[in-house]
Structure 1
Amino acid sequence: MKLANVAEKLATEKQQFTIVSSKSNHNRAKIAAKLNKVHNILDTTSIKVRLTVVIAAVAAIGLGGLAAGTSIRMQHILISTHKENMKYIADRFPMDVEIYSEMIPLKEGARRAIDSLSTENKLIWIKNSAGEITAKSQALNKEEIGSILLTVKDVPLIPQVQDLKGSYWLMCATPLRVRNANLGQLYLAHNITEDQMMFLNLIRSLSIATVIAIIVMTTMIALYIHHSMQPLKKISQLTATISADKLDQAHIHLDQAPSEVKELAETFDKMLIRLAEAWEHQRELLSNVSHELRTPLTIISGYIQSILRRGTNLSEMQKEALTTAASEADRTVQLLQDLLDLARVDSGRMKFQQEKIILNDLIQEVVGMAKQYSDRTITWKSASSFITIKADSHRLKQVLLNLIDNAVKYSETRTPIKLKLEQRKNFAIIQVCDRGVGISLQQQGRIFERFFRVDESRNRAGGTGLGLSIVKTLVEGMGGNISVTSQLNEGSTFTIVFPLV
């Protein structure tokens, strides 16, 4: 009972670990997809990104410059009005003092002139040559105002804005002379805090509006460019799916696209037509050459075999040479036959005689045929019931013999070759397994390509690189599917799947 509880606990933990692992893999996949999307958005080599950045930068500089120019102009207008007013007061003040001093003393006349020209926001004071204040506006008697303005040093001759503890004052100083008498310096101060705050709020609103306008404009530009680039993306997606067998069927149709992109699509279509014609000529040449060479090579092989059988007076060296020549001739004939098969498939001239086949009997027959040509141990495991598919029996035998031959080439002589047949749902599964050198993960993706061969140092018998390509072509031509799973130094398993009938 304890062992059963432990086993059940281990099974539960394994199931939980599998669930967590699958969730983790799913999360990693989602993160990778998001990172890939961000990378595509931020790809600085993309025309879309470059156009968006350049146009957005130009728009930002234009709008920013306009906002800055508008702000400077508004500031100039605001300050200029107050400067003109202060200049008027500075020019008028000596005349007012002179008028008042005709009836009262000069200093008293200056005080009267200050009172008449001062307002709540316009303050005036006079300092003599010793730096003492001789007259000032009544508002300067207030501590909070007087302590700010009267202590300012180096007041300029030209009115300038001063930021004094959060208050904005336009200030200037000018020499004061009345009746050729030097009364010292005349100081003028105009409180423009309200106007300045209104101006700053306006600038802030203008800046926010400019930023929003730039963002909206950049978004609209990015969307427009993205939409404009869709035809190019469509061309890219189409070209990624074009195969050599379908060059004559590939055409790019762009109804709503810029004229330049349409011209590119038309040029690309013409290029595809030329490639299709060249590919067709190449296939015809390959088929014709293979057909023309196969007959004389077959005759040569026959003569060599005849000489070997009847040449009783041949030396060992001559027999060895003729045996090698016969072997190479047979190998070349087989290569030409493979090329002819591929040419027929490419041109659509290969016809499959589809018929109902009991796989149990066909595989048993194939195993018997394979044992006649090889001394290897070949075993097979069949399903308990008969499995029936629809295929070309001759071509299916060719497929299985090629796979068995491939397993023999890439495995040691002492290891067996295993065939398995089983039914999974509505599909028949045929597997050819060996315990050979295996195929690396990188090579598994190319193992069915034409003329592709794995590392020759791991190949015990050599090959043309066409066998597995023909196998894949025949299986798919009969409506099936083939795949491979393999690990280095542990062997390979080729799996063929056919729908049941």
Structure 2
Amino acid sequence: MSIRLRLTLWYSGILAVTMVILGTAIYFFVNYNTYGDIKEQLKNQAQKIRAVPISNLDIVPFVSLQYEGVFIQFVNYNTQEVFPLSDTIRRFQLQLPYPAKPSGLKEGFADMMVEGYHFLSYQVPLRMEADGEVVGLIQVAYYTEQQEQYLSSLRTILVFTSIVAIFLAFTLGLFLARKALRPIEDVIRATNRIENGSNLSVRIPRGAPNDELGQLTDTLNGMLGRLEKTYNDLADAYKTQRRFVSDASHELRTPLTTIRGNIDLLEKMWRPELSEASAVSEGDGGRGVVLSPDRAELSLEAMRDISDEAKRMSRLVADMLSLARADAGYEMEKEPVELLPLVEEVARRANLLPRRADWQIGDLSPIEDIQVMGNADYLRQLIFIFVENAFKYTAEGYVELRAVRVDGQAGLIVQDTGIGMDNDEVPHIFERFYRADESRGKTAGTGLGLSIAKWIIDEHGGSVEVKTREGEGTTFIVWLPVFFPPKDDSGIMKEPDQH
């Protein structure tokens, strides 16, 4: 519920309670004033009638009292007879209701209905002076239908005006609250535009009143200005960093390629000589200088180390270049790719990788005749990353590659029986340069492979599942959406547009 609606409901509720209290007070005040004079008149007339000396109840019926508009009735409980004492009650031939038993009668006012008409009466019981026994009842009544209609109309008016007033107050309060809180809505819209569009240059419109909301707007605009400046500075630094990584990667590839080429050439040139365990060079005076087998072997071992390190640096530079492309928003060129031949090719080449575990190729039939919209080179790199990663952390047992298909998803499963991971490490394994503490220092690597794999999966609209248990191995399941070529009107598959 919005603040605007809550404020309006609070104000409307307070107004409703006030209207109920005020309306009740008005009604009881009018009711008191309307019936006050009537009650006073009825009481006075009843007291006057009771003051008439009556020694014998039998003579009461012959008493005639003249009070205009007043209905007077006498009840004789000895004979159970009812006598009208006023011309009004005789003229209308009415009989006021009275208690059948005199016990418990008290002097006072009573409301009564007579033939559908409303009366207000004042009753005075007559008692014997000797024992206080009630022997008669004097009832002085007044016809109050006009007053009742007046009070009923008053109740209707009060209820109706209260409802109308509350409705108008709610509507007007909602309008005023909306107008008063409009700067907050501007703040919300501006922050939504910033959140959805990442545009920190948006500012909140400033209203004329210099109230609390105006001060809040100024504070938020100042904060947005500082955030924009900080964000732009960070963005410039990040662009510079990405450009440096990309340029450095490009620049490092050329000398590394040259180093590796020359090392390979030297190794090929030295190997025939080292097979004879010596190398001879012509010197002054025809003397020959012989290189000892130990020194020759050390030279060859040094060249192997240089070659291995050059290869490792080449892989690192290639990985950094891939991540630099990912950061720069590089979009892969994609086309329909037959998944089974590509996976079989990777499986055949993976058999040549250095490993200590058995390499097993499981059931690949689920992806037969399955196409995915993707980049074949990056898909090969993706599978190689997971297979190499499995070989790296599996000292014994096996590494298996198999496939599954569920609905419109093709799954590639790489399962190993290696060291596994703790479940707390799983959320971090796709972060750059992250390596599990247990494997750090025991296995070679840069910690960039799985980051690149995650980028390739995201670019292909896929997902990855990780199932692992420490000491029992890890299973990666790469899900890729299956591509279904569109059909023309004749039902023949059309060639998709490449992008």
Identify the TM-score tier after normalising by the shorter chain.
Answer: 0.5 to 0.7
Aligned to 1:85: 41
Partner of 1:122: 71
Specify which of 325, 329, 332 is matched with residue 317 of structure 2. Answer: 329
Give the equivalent residue in structure 2 for 1:202: 154
Counterpart position of 1:60: 16
Q: Structure 1 residue 306 and structure 2 residue 273: aligned? A: no
| Structure 2 CA distance for partners of 1:128 and 1:77, relative to 1, 3 Å | same
Aligned to 1:157: 107
Residues 407-460 of structure 1 show CA distances to partners (whole Å, capped at 9, x for unaligned) of 6535999xxxxxxxxxxxxxxxxxxxxxx9699xxxxxxxxxxx999xxxxx99
Q: 2:453 aligns with which of 462, 468, 474?
A: 462
The superposition leaves residues 374-412 of structure 1 with CA deviations (integer Å, 9 ceiling, x where unpaired) of x99xxxxxxxxxxxxxxxxxxxxxxxxxxx975653599
Q: Could you tell me how far 1:55 is from its partner in structure 2?
A: 0.8
What residue in structure 2 maps to residue 50 of structure 1?
A: 6
RMSD (Å), alpha carbons: 4.9
Distance change in 2, residues 1:238/1:248 (3 Å): closer
Mark the runs of 5 or more structure 1 residues left unpaired by the alignment.
1-44, 343-365, 368-374, 377-403, 414-435, 440-450, 454-458, 469-486
Correspondence 1:173 to 2:161: no
Cα separation, 2, equivalents of 1:236 and 1:328 = 46
After TM superposition, list the pairs within 5 Å mapping 1:250-261 onto structure 2: 250-256=202-208, 259-261=211-213
244 and 186 in structure 1: CA distance in 2 versus 1, 3 angstrom threshold? closer
- C-alpha separation between the residues in 2 aligned to 1:200 and 1:244? 60
Q: Structure 1 pair 171/243, CA: closer, same or farther in 2 (3 Å)?
A: closer
- SS at 2:141's partner residue? strand
Note if contact 1:452-1:466 (Cα within 8 Å) is conserved in structure 2.
no
8 Å Cα contact 1:156/1:171 also seen in 2: no
Looking at secondary structure, tell me which structure has more helix per residue. 1
CA distance in 2, matches of 1:135, 1:291: 117
Residue identity in the other structure for 2:224? L
What is the distance in 2 between the residues matched to 1:108 and 1:256?
A: 92
In structure 1, the partner of 2:180 is 228
User: Do the aligned partners of 1:301 and 1:329 also contact (CA within 8 Å) in 2?
Assistant: yes
**Counterpart AA for 1:172:** Y
- 2:326–2:455 contact (8 Å) kept in structure 1: no
1:206-285 → structure 2 map (5 Å cutoff): 206-242=158-194, 247=199, 249-256=201-208, 259-285=211-237
CA distance in 1, matches of 2:6, 2:197: 37
Residue 171 of structure 1 aligns with an amino acid whose one-letter code is S
Distance 1:247 1:269, change over 3 A: farther
Distance 1:195 1:326, change over 3 A: same
Q: Which amino acid aligns with 1:409?
A: Y
* Distance in 2 between residues matched to 1:120 and 1:129, nearest whole Å: 29
What is the letter of the counterpart of residue 116 of structure 1? L
Q: Could you say if the C-alpha distance between residues 285 and 254 of structure 1 is closer, same or farther in structure 2, counting changes exceeding 3 Å?
A: same
Q: Residue in 2 aligned with 1:409?
A: 378
C-alpha distance in 1 between matches for 2:7 and 2:160: 25
User: For 1:134-184, what per-residue CA distance to the aligned partner results, in whole angstroms no more than 9, with x for missing partners?
Assistant: 6644555689722x5256777652113234553222123223379999863
Is residue 107–residue 125 contact of structure 2 (8 Å, CA) maintained in 1? no
Task: Tell me, yes or no, if structure 1 residue 145 matches structure 2 residue 145.
Answer: no
Q: 1:205 to 1:155 in 2, by over 3 A?
A: farther
> For the residues of structure 2 that align with 1:58 and 1:192, how far apart are their CA atoms?
36
Equivalent in 472, 481, 488 of residue 488 of structure 1: 481
Q: Which residue of 1 aligns with 2:274?
A: none
Query: 2:32 is matched by which residue type in structure 1?
Result: H
Q: 1:236, 1:495 → 2: CA distance?
A: 42
Please state if 1:70 is matched with 2:20: no
- SS of 2:142's equivalent in the other structure is strand
CA distance in 2, matches of 1:106, 1:245: 105
Shift in CA distance, 193/216, structure 1 to aligned 2, threshold 3 Å: same
Distance 1:241 1:201, change over 3 A: same
Measure the CA separation in 2 of the matches of 1:405 and 1:452.
Answer: 23
1: CA distance, partners of 2:62 / 2:198? 103
Shift of 1:227: 2.4
| Partner Cα distance (2:11, 2:58) in 1 | 68
Structure 2 runs not aligned, ≥5 long: 268-299, 335-341, 344-372, 383-407, 412-429, 433-449, 460-479, 487-495
Conserved? CA contact 2:71–2:140, under 8 Å: yes
Structure of greater Rg: 2
- Closer/same/farther in 2, CA of residues 166 and 407 from structure 1, 3 Å limit: farther
Q: Tell me how far apart the structure 2 counterparts of residues 466 and 297 of structure 1 sit (CA, whole Å).
A: 23
Given that 2:379 and 2:456 are in contact with CA atoms closer than 8 Å, whether structure 1 keeps it comes out as: no
Identity %: 14
8 Å Cα contact 1:155-1:172 kept in structure 2 = no
Q: Which residue of 2 aligns with 1:442?
A: none
* Equivalent position amino acid for 1:167 in 2: Y
